[in-house]
Amino acid sequence: MSKIGARIAAVAAFMVTLAACGGSATPAPQTDVGVTSNSISLGNTIAQSGPAAAYGTIANAELAYFTYINNTQGGVNGRKINFKILDDAYNPAQTVPLTKQLVEQDKVFAMFSGLGTQAQTSVRDYLNAQKVPQLFVATGATTFMLDESLHPYTIGWQPPYQGEARIYAKDVLANHASAKIGVLYQNDDYGQDYLKGLKDGLGSNASMIVDAESYDVTAASTASQLATLKAKGADTLFLFTTPAFTIKSLVITTALHWEPTIYLNSVSNPQVYMGIAAKAGAALKNVTSVGYLKDPTDPTWASDSGMQLYKTVIANCTTCNVNDGFNIYGAAVAWSMVDVLKQAGTNMTRANVANIATSGLNETSNPFLLPGVVVKTTSSDHFPITQEQVITWSGTGWTRQGNLIDERGTIK
């Protein structure tokens, strides 16, 4: 309440000043909390410990990109970016107080790339009530793009989970029309969103799903669920699982002497995690996923200028594994953030920045995305990325198949 009061007072004071000056013509540059003449502060909560700790490197890669921008370009429009990262251990009960701390104590201008469907859902109402932008959340849960009108300060970035699941549905119908599908999904909004997308995509063929088993993120193992799916006669396995559970599930599947066709969600598919699964004994035959980022381990991009830039950027992060696909994700989303701040120019208000991110994006040259992938939002379409390409596991890396598939406009 006091903030709104203070803001009204500030606006009133500003009006009075304008009137006193006799209506000077040029509007003064506007700023909000967290912006000074030479700095912008952004906040982030992410899992750097706990069951989804594999994602923690994303924030470090984002910091590396901001450091690169600060060092080589002096920041954005003369303002250096301060990026504060806090570890919420993938636990919404920690995300809420940490987000409050960033907003009220550290006085950040905006939250950027907070990770976790549950975690970001739990702070969405709070951030919108405070009118703090919640930009490019690191979750593809459809609600972050679809329910824009209810939460005008919130926007996702990566392709929606439902869109990705629809691409798998198309692939199954085209290549494995008689498949008996078993699904393993995480029991939360994230897993359920993928499952919904798959069912919608299969449409009248949804009965191909013979069983869907879930696990809680606090669970120790997924062995009993996988054994059940095998016993139900599934020959095609969908893994809507976070990295640690994905690696375990791939290993357990092989240990059960089960060789289904596997569809693996993109949020767990970096090549390095596949390598860990293979080392732990997973067979990894017939594995399909999707991609929209340039894979750092793909020799195709060895001399690509975007990949060169990525390698320069990631050198700023001593703990980052350059081959980890999550790091190029971090660099790519940070690129979009810098793009938004550049567009905002002198009008550095929270409302303006949120508006540009949710309705004014049009990136055709994000150097870290696959060629042709566009990051675009308009006043009626708030899905930034909708294009993905099917990839299959070759035994050492991912091989791209066919062309980009665009799911823009299919999710309502």
Partner 1 sequence: MLQRFRTLPPRYWLVLVVVLFFVGLPTVIDSFQAGEWAQALVLAIAIMGLNILVGYSGQLSLGHGAFMALGAYVSAILAHRYKMDYLVTIPIAGLLTGVIGFLFGVPALRLSALYLALATFALAVVAPSLIKRPAELTGGVQGIVLLPPVPPQPVSDAYAALTGTAMTSDQWTYYVTLAWGLVLFWLAWNLLRHRTGRAMRAIRDGEVAAAASGINLAGYKTLAFGISAFYAGIAGSLFGLAAGFVSPDSFPVSLSIQLLVGAVVGGLASIPGPLIGGIFAYFLPIESNQWVPTQTWIPTQIASTIEKAGPAVTYGAVLILTMIFAPNGIVGLVGAGYARLRGRLRGVPDRESGQMPQDPQTV
Stretch that binds partner 1, among 89-97, 327-335, 357-365, 402-410 (CB under 8 A): 89-97
- The CB density around residue 342, as the number of other CB atoms within 10 Å, is 13
Kindly state whether residue 125 participates in binding partner 1, applying the rule CB under 8 A.
yes
- Please give the Cα distance from 280 to 352 (Å, whole number): 49
State which of residues 7, 27, 216, 231 lies at the interface with partner 1 (CB under 8 A): 216
Out of 101, 271, 286, 359, the only residue in the binding site for partner 1 (CB under 8 A) is 101
How far does the chain reach from its first CA to its final CA, in angstroms? Answer: 35
Name residues contacting partner 1, limited to 20-79 (CB under 8 A). Answer: 48-49
Q: Give the DSSP H/E element, type plus range, for residue 289.
A: strand 287-291
Binding status of residue 93 toward partner 1 by CB under 8 A: yes
Our CB check for partner 1 shows the closer of 50 and 360 to be: 50
Q: How far apart are CA 94 and CA 83, in angstroms?
A: 19
Q: Is 131 in the site for partner 1 (CB under 8 A)?
A: no
Q: Find how far residue 348's CA is from the centre of its chain.
A: 24
Q: Please select the residue that binds partner 1; options are 30, 84, 100, 131, rule is CB under 8 A.
A: 100
C-alpha 323, offset from chain centre:
18
189 binds partner 1 (CB under 8 A): yes
Nearest to 233 by CA among 260, 203, 199: 260
CB atoms within 10 A of CB 363: 19
Which among 92-100, 148-156, 165-173, 360-368 is the span making contact with partner 1, rule CB under 8 A? 92-100
Q: Whose Cβ is closer to partner 1: residue 62's or residue 189's?
A: 189
Instruction: Give the residue among 91, 2, 8 at the shortest CA–CA distance from 46.
Output: 91
Helix pair angle (223-231, 243-255), 10° resolution: 50
- Residue 269 CA to residue 287 CA, distance in Å, equals 10
220 binds partner 1 (CB under 8 A): no
| Closer Cβ to partner 1, 106 or 259, answer by number | 106
- Among 29, 74, 78, 97, which residue sits at the site for partner 1 (rule: CB under 8 A)? 97
Minimum separation from the CB atom of position 81 to partner 1 (A): 21
State the residues that interact with partner 1 by CB under 8 A: 1-2, 5, 48-49, 91-93, 96-97, 100-101, 104-105, 118, 121-122, 125-126, 129, 187-189, 216-218, 318-319
